[in-house]
C-alpha cells in the first residue's frame, strides 16, 4: 500500500509518499509560493533532490507538478497512478464533528466548509487541497486527519469558556486545541518507549515549534490543551502572543484607535518571541544573542516560564504523570531551552539530567533514573500518523 500525505496551505503544498509495507518514506517534496509569480518545486526521492522554479498559478497546477514528479519515468517512484492506494490530508479544524480520522465524501466536505469560519486561514486551503488531489488522483480513497480530533476527548469543564453558555451552544465557541496529530503521535511513541500500556499512560506533551502547544494526557487521551478556539491561545510562540488579558484588545481599540485587523496581525504575527525580542522569532538566534541582549533573554525567559507554569497546572489537572514529552523543532533540538524549562523542578518529581539532556533530534530520556516523572525527547512524525490512519481507513474500503 502506497499512501500519499498532503498538507495544503494557502500558498504551498507539502507532500510525503509512504510505502506502508514497512512505513518507509519513498518521496517527499514541497511546492512553494503558489500564485506568486515564480514558484519553487522541491522533490526528493531515491536519495536525490530536484529543485526548480516554475510559474505555478494555482493549487491545481501545483498538483500537476506533484503528480509528474511522483511518476517521472526516470526519477519517479510510482509507475502509474495505479501504484497509489490512498491519500491522507492534514485538515486543521474538524470541529466537534470529527473525533477521529474520516473517509472524505461530499458530506464531510460540506461540514468542513462550515468550519472554515472557525479556521479561515487553514480550512479553505485544506479544502482546495482535497479537491485538487481528487482531480489529480481520481478514484482513490481520500482520508481527512484533523489537528483538533485528538482533543475531542477533553471534558466539558476543560473546553468551555466562562462566557454565556449560548455562545457555545449556538456559536460553537469553545476550546478545540490543535497539533493533535503530533500530541497523539508522541504520546503513543513515549508509552511504547517506556513500556507503559497506553490506557494507563499519563503525560504532559509539549509541542514546541513555530507554533507551540501543550496537552494533558490521561490514559492516552487528551484531557486539556493550551490552544483554544484558534491556535493563538496558550504558550508564547514565534510570532503569537499566547495567553493575554483579553481586555488588552479593547484597550488598544478604544485608547489607541487600533482596528481589529491591526490587533489580529499584532497578536498573530508581531508578538511572541519576535515581538518581545525585536530580533527574531527563531529561538536559535535568541539563545545566541541572550548573553548580551536583554530583550532576547527576556523573550526566552517569558517563553520558558509559561511552559513551566503549564507543566505545574497540568500536573495538578492530571493528579499523576508518568512523563513530560518534548517534541517539535524547539522541543527536539533546543538543549538550553529544555534545561531552562525543567531546571529546579525536582520537588515536583522531575529531576533533569543535564548530561542526558544533551540530545538533539532523537528519542531519549533526559531525566535521572531516580526521577519519579520521566522527561523525554520524542521526534514527532505527523505525516506518518496521517499515513497510518489513512491506511487503516482506506484499507476497510477495499
Residue located via cell numbers 472554515: 116
- Residue 360 CB partners (closer than 8 Å, separation 6+): 332, 333, 335
Distances (CA, A) of 111 to 95, 106, 127, 144, 393: 9, 9, 11, 12, 19
Residue 152 sits at φ, ψ, to 5 deg, of -70, -5
Taking the C-alpha atoms of residue 220 and residue 138, their distance in angstroms, rounded to an integer, is 36
Number of Cβ within 10 Å of residue 35's Cβ equals: 14
Q: How far is the CB of 282 from ligand AMP (least distance, A)?
A: 4
Nearer CB in complex with ligand AMP: 61/285? 285
Closest CA to 364 of 373, 374, 376: 376
Nearer CB in complex with ligand AMP: 25/134? 25
Residues in contact with ligand AMP by CB under 6 A are 209-210, 238, 282-284, 328-330, 333-334
Q: How far is the CB of 176 from ligand AMP (least distance, A)?
A: 20
Residue number closest to ligand AMP, CB atom: 329
Our answer to whether residue 224 is catalytic in this structure is no
Nearer CB in complex with ligand AMP: 85/282? 282
Q: How far is the CB of 182 from ligand AMP (least distance, A)?
A: 9
Q: How far is the CB of 283 from ligand AMP (least distance, A)?
A: 4
Taking the C-alpha atoms of residue 222 and residue 375, their distance in angstroms, rounded to an integer, is 18
Nearer CB in complex with ligand AMP: 228/272? 272
Q: Which of 19, 147, 245, 346 does the annotation list as catalytic?
A: 147
Q: What single-letter DSSP state applies at residue 52?
A: E
Torsion of CA 284, 288, 294, 300, to 10 degrees: 30
Active site residues: 147
Amino acid at each position: 500500500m502506497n499512501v500519499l500525505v498532503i498538507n495544503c496551505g494557502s500558498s504551498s503544498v507539502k507532500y510525503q509518499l509512504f510505502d506502508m509495507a514497512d512505513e518507509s518514506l519513498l518521496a517527499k517534496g514541497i511546492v512553494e509560493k503558489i500564485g506568486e509569480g515564480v514558484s519553487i518545486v522541491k522533490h526528493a526521492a531515491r536519495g536525490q533532490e530536484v529543485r526548480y522554479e516554475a510559474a505555478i498559478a494555482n493549487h491545481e497546477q501545483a498538483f500537476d507538478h506533484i503528480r509528474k514528479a511522483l511518476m517521472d519515468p526516470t526519477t519517479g517512484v510510482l509507475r502509474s497512478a495505479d501504484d497509489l492506494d490512498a491519500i491522507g490530508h492534514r485538515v486543521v479544524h474538524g470541529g466537534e464533528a470529527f473525533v477521529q480520522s474520516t473517509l472524505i465524501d461530499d458530506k464531510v466536505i460540506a461540514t468542513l466548509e462550515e468550519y472554515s469560519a472557525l479556521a479561515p486561514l487553514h480550512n479553505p486551503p485544506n479544502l482546495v487541497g482535497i479537491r485538487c488531489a481528487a482531480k489529480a488522483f481520481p478514484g482513490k480513497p481520500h482520508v481527512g486527519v484533523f489537528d483538533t480530533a485528538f482533543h475531542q476527548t477533553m471534558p466539558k469543564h476543560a473546553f468551555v469558556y466562562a462566557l454565556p453558555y449560548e455562545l457555545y451552544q449556538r456559536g460553537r465557541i469553545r476550546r478545540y486545541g490543535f497539533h493533535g496529530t503530533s500530541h497523539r503521535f508522541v504520546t503513543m511513541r513515549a508509552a511504547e518507549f517506556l513500556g507503559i500500556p497506553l490506557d494507563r499512560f499519563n503525560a504532559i506533551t509539549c509541542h514546541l515549534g513555530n507554533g507551540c502547544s501543550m496537552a494533558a494526557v490521561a490514559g492516552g487521551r487528551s484531557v486539556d490543551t493550551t490552544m483554544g478556539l484558534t491556535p493563538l491561545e496558550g504558550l508564547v510562540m514565534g510570532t503569537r502572543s499566547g495567553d493575554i488579558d483579553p481586555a488588552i484588545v479593547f484597550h488598544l481599540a478604544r485608547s489607541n484607535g487600533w482596528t481589529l485587523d491591526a490587533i489580529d496581525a499584532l497578536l498573530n504575527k508581531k508578538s511572541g518571541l519576535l515581538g518581545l525580542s525585536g530580533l527574531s522569532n527563531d529561538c536559535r538566534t535568541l539563545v545566541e544573542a541572550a548573553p548580551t541582549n536583554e530583550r532576547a533573554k527576556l523573550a526566552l525567559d517569558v517563553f520558558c516560564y509559561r511552559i513551566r507554569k503549564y507543566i505545574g497546572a497540568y500536573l495538578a489537572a492530571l493528579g499523576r504523570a508518568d512523563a513530560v514529552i518534548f517534541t517539535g523543532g524547539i522541543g527536539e533540538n533546543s538543549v538550553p531551552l529544555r534545561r531552562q524549562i525543567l531546571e529546579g523542578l525536582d520537588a515536583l518529581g522531575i529531576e533533569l539530567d543535564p548530561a542526558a539532556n544533551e540530545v538533539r533530534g532523537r528519542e531519549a530520556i533526559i531525566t535521572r533514573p531516580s526521577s519519579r516523572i520521566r522527561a523525554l525527547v520524542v521526534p514527532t512524525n505527523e505525516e506518518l500518523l496521517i499515513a497510518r490512519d489513512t491506511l487503516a481507513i482506506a484499507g476497510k474500503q477495499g
